[in-house]
Amino acid sequence: MLKAIKDKTFSLYSELLCKLARWQHAKNLPGLSKSDRQILNALKRDGACVTTLADLGFDSTSELLKTAYHQLSQMESPNNTHLKKRLPQIYTVTGLSEFSTWGQEQRLLNIIENYIGLPIKFHGVHLRKDFPSDAQFDTMLWHSDAEDRRIIKIFICLHNVEKKHGPFEYISRSLTPLFGLNYWRLFYKLWLSDYLGIKDEEVEKIIPRSAWKSCPGPAGTVILVDTKNTFHHGTNRIEDRATLFFCYTANPPERPDLCTQYWDDTYPKAESRSPSNVV
């Protein structure tokens, strides 16, 4: 009991320090263009924003895509077709400059810093392939990420995503305000699951399915989302889905131990040959 009280006291004190740091850093936040501020406003309102690589218009995009498709072609097909629950295939590609350059475009960092409200850290990139499944498990359960108090993850669709590919889905933060009943009901169910995730039928009792936001789109669709404060999941699919995942937090994050997966040996690292060098 005493330990629980101490932990809660420390947590509240830590939150207070974080709010103070955001207040102090506010005067240092970089300026944004009108279009970039629209992305920021959507993140603040809904917890997510959907755009495209074309609309972002970064010079590094062509090299990003060329390298992404090459790396995707090099991923070995796992022997998992006999499994009912097929875990995603993930490669760490942070060490390849084509990915890290795009992920550290200054306009992008400016948007994210304005949202997080503190100096930020770019942790890295995963190239991920998700496989067909009619079972709801792992990241197909509704969940909240835990690396930091605010987290921005960017998902780039590497091919057209329709319902059959299991598009990303989220619940707008406008429906789950921090001090609202829906927020606490969902987090209570998440706590009961030991933070492993909640099934559709449980979420639907709190937020109607008609209010869930699905994110299908053509190749090059970009989804920015606060995966800590926005309930989200991937949906069941009957065809593969290939995506890039970029991760950003405050510097330092609340849980740095959860961020090492973007550069350590948790997942295989992609080989470094560029497409132009491949015969």
Structure confidence by residue, pLDDT tens digits, 133-180: 989 999 999 999 999 999 999 999 999 999 999 999 999 999 999 889
Report cis status (omega within 30 of 0) of the bond before 218. Answer: no
- Which of 6-10, 81-85, 175-179, 261-265 is the most confident on average? 261-265
Residues in the chain: 279
Sign of the dihedral defined by the CA atoms of residues 48, 50, 55, 58, in that order? positive
pLDDT, position 278: 37
CA distances from 67 to 60, 97, 108, 137 (A): 11, 10, 20, 30
How many angstroms separate the CA atoms of 126 and 143, rounded? Answer: 19
**Within 10 A of 205 (CB to CB), how many other CB atoms are there?**
10
- Looking at per-residue confidence, does 95 or 276 come out higher? 95
Confidence of residue 54 (pLDDT cuts 50, 70, 90): very high
pTM above 0.85, yes or no: yes
Q: Coil, strand, or helix at residue 25?
A: helix
Q: Does residue 279 contact residue 178 with C-beta atoms inside 8 Å?
A: no
pLDDT, position 269: 94
Q: Does residue 231 contact residue 142 with C-beta atoms inside 8 Å?
A: yes
How many angstroms separate the CA atoms of 279 and 26, rounded? Answer: 50
Q: Does residue 231 contact residue 170 with C-beta atoms inside 8 Å?
A: yes
Q: What is the pLDDT of residues 245-260, one digit of tens each?
A: 999 999 999 999 999 9
pLDDT, position 10: 58
